[in-house]
Chain A
Amino acid sequence: MHKGNQMNRRQAIQQLTIMGLGLTLYPSCNTEKIPQYSRVPLDAKRYKLLQEVSEAILPVDHITYVTPEPRSQYILTILNDCTSTEEVTNFLTGLESLQQYLTGVKMSDLDKLSNDDLDKIFDYMADSKGQDENLYKFYRTTKNLATQHFTGCEKFMIEELKFEFVPGRYIGCKEV
């Protein structure tokens, strides 16, 4: 296994241990600094929300599906480094809309919600097309990047997509 994966497996185990103790490792409730992304500035509250949404929109077992970096870090890196200013603005405005919506319906702590409640929130976001365009775009972007992050991880690519780095053969017509 390469170094990056080792690191992340360690991080994931640490996260699990803390969660087992009933603690949640989020920047808002410890001294850990919020990662800074110059084009996607987030305060602690928004950062925590993004972490929660990006995990809840595609919940997977990070111990089994190890990724080189936590999901929110991947999403923020792609937004910060590879996305147009317009898309970043839409994303931030959409995140703000979500924050307001959650405050309105008194559901601010996503990690305390049931799956049914989470589904309702995501249904609301998915249906916001035409009404709150930015919220809808935020939903699409977060879902797409979360999906890319998951389907691009080692285990998914090898086991689910049959990725081979050094195939050493080509069979033009294999019965499937």
Chain B
Amino acid sequence: MNDSNTFDAIVIGAGMTGGWAAKEFCDNGLKTLLLERGRDVKHIKDYPTTNMLPWEFKHRGRIPIEVAEENPVISRCYAYREDAMHFFVKDTEHPYGQPKPFDWIRGYQVGGRSIMWARQTQRWSNFDFEGPARDGFAVDWPIRYEDLDPWYSYVEKFVGISGNRDGVDTLPDGEFLKAWDLNCVEQHFQKVVQENYKDRHVIYARCAHITENKEIFQKQGRGLCQGRRICQRGCPFGGYFNANSSLIPWAEKTGNLTLRPDSVVHSIIFDDKTGKASGVRIVDRLTKETSEYFAKIIFVNAGTLNSNLILLNSISDRFPEGLGNDHGLLGKYVAFHNYRARISAEHPGHKDFAPEGGRPTSAYVPRFRNVYKQETDFLRGYACTFGAYRSLHTDNDGHGQTLAEHLLQKKEYGPWGVGSGMMGETIPKESNFVRLDKDKTDEWGIPMLNISIDYDENDEKMIHDFFEQYSDMYKKAGLTNIRTSDSKQAPGLDIHEMGGIRMGHDSKTSMLNKWHQVHSCPNVFVTDGACMTSVSTQNPSLTFMAMTARAANYAIEQLKKDAI
């Protein structure tokens, strides 16, 4: 150990959760090492396509077929297109085992997946935190909404969340910036649902975009969102939240941050004498050289499944099966969101209206199934998006001069289209797990991850119910040409994988305590999606960030008291 490789805190992973941990530590004077396996991505400078116009792309957005064929998993992600493909991990570069099909969508770089995320940010409520205990699955959460409420506010104020105060029990209100409009068809659906269903609400989908100028955003150098809806390329205005435009430069400004990109964390080093972790072992991505770094606390924020991998690979005499894994629970009870079901239709009304301009969100219907009591033959429920759109129609009939004339004729609007995607809660199960491959290692000598995760009967029943309920709701709204579809997509494509290092009250049945500390190695904290005991229906990243900020501030307090 020497000064150059010893820090107060080490954070593994420079995505939005690692970014939050680093920011909190640096703000509080902790010398912090932020380790990131991928390359550095600087805000604006490293967004090569951000100002490219649609016609400037050689393939007008398409992915070359050779790339798609070699990388079938990532090519299934809707955002993996010509404009942002450089931010995604190719299957060929980082293979993993799939005893059961699982689409693992990753972004290895400073900023992680915060660069390409869809920025939907909904709080959890106690209907979510109390779910496992009430419905008898997984283990009881050791925290409740009240523990997280102030941290949601703390994070929201910094991030910038646009939303309405809707007063819905299942989706608590937060610190919102003004919302964009719902368009007339979304408002129509909202009204019909309100008139017909007591406990169903159509609201504006809250999202991480700046819609009001505030000092806190000026301090970050971020400005108003201009509604371009190409955020996955990185935004030159900093209009949406990613770690690169906010958390990381903020932490750097304190002078307390050492950011080390190209540093693949191999494992956490456990010190038998102190009974704590002493540091981490890394392999340089480019030179393949190994080195060690030391700190009093270690935050694991490598993104759910990679955090599982790191703990599984952190083997010592004390923990031969992986750090904190005295009971064989590590890597188990992984769950995700069921995104298979969609419904779409046409709206025959509002013919004289169309939306104008752009907004980066749509409407949202919070969970209404099994909320106050169990009412169906499946557990839990689903939230749902609702979006209505209308665009100018070109007449492509004919050929030659006729086709040219048709295309240049005055454009008419096509019919209103509407669509909803289900976001179903899945139940964490022991049989849904990740483990290390015994034989295969990657380029950096790290065991490959095998992912074995599947749907179950509960998910099938939920899809069926979603089709029934939404078909009814759509019919009541007078929508026509209603079509349902089950994509049968593999788990993972929802990009909301969670669990494997779950929280709980009891060290015998969980990996982490209520402050996210590994029960048996308390200076290691896991605060990304790996810590989730259950998954609820809401887009999870806001919750991951609030949890990280809360745990980081707890760790800082404990450090100050010399209690870690």
Chain A residues with a Cβ under 8 A of chain B:
2, 4, 56-60, 67-68, 77-78, 81-84, 115, 118-119, 122, 126, 139, 143, 147-148, 150-154, 156-157, 160-176
Contacts and interface: CB of A to CB of B under 8 A. Distances in A.
Interface stretch (B7-15, B51-59, B331-339): B51-59
B355 A171 contact: yes
B93 interface: no
A157 B60 CA distance: 13
Contacts of B358: 164, 167, 170
B204 to A, nearest CB: 10
23 contacts: A59-B400, A78-B59, A82-B59, A126-B399, A152-B60, A153-B55, A154-B53, A157-B54, A157-B55, A160-B392, A165-B53, A166-B226, A167-B226, A168-B226, A168-B357, A171-B181, A171-B357, A172-B182, A172-B187, A173-B184, A174-B353, A174-B354, A176-B353
A143 B399 contact: yes
A169 B225 CA distance: 9
Given A57-B399, A57-B403, A173 B353 contact: yes
Nearest to B391: A161
Contact of A167 (B187, B357, B396, B403): B357
Given A82-B63, A173-B184, A174-B354, A161 B392 contact: yes
A147 B183 CA distance: 30
B186 A172 contact: yes
Q: How large is the interface on B (under 10, 10 to 19, 20 to 34, 35 or more residues)?
A: 35 or more
Contact of B407 (A78, A83, A150, A172): A150
Contacts of B356: 167, 169-171, 174
Contacts of B355: 170-174
Contacts of A57: 399-400, 403
Contacts of B63: 82
A50 B400 CA distance: 14
B413 A176 contact: yes
Contacts of B411: 160-161
Contacts of A168: 226-227, 357
Contacts of A152: 54-55, 60
B64 interface: yes
Interface string B171-207: 0000000001111101100000000000000000000
B392 A162 contact: yes
Contacts, number: 133
A160 B357 contact: no
Contacts of A166: 226-228
Contacts of B359: 170
A57 B228 CA distance: 33
Nearest to B354: A176
A175 B353 CA distance: 4
A79 B263 CA distance: 40
Nearest to B224: A168
B357 A59 contact: no
The dominant DSSP class at the A interface is mixed
B56 A172 contact: no
Contacts of A122: 399-400
B407 A170 contact: no
A175 B58 CA distance: 36
B394 interface: yes
Nearest to A83: B65
A175 B407 contact: no
B65 A84 contact: yes
B400 A60 contact: no
B215 interface: no
A86 to B, nearest CB: 11
Interface string B368-402: 00000000000000000000000110101001111
A173 B400 contact: no
B62 interface: yes
A137 to B, nearest CB: 15
B184 A56 contact: no
Contacts of B55: 67-68, 152-154, 157
A170 B225 CA distance: 11
B180 A170 contact: yes
Contacts of A150: 407
Given A78-B62, A172-B184, A58 B399 contact: yes
B418 to A, nearest CB: 14
Contact of A59 (B180, B354, B392, B404): B404
> Which of B180, B187, B404 has the most chain A CB atoms inside 10 A of its CB?
B404
Nearest to B409: A160
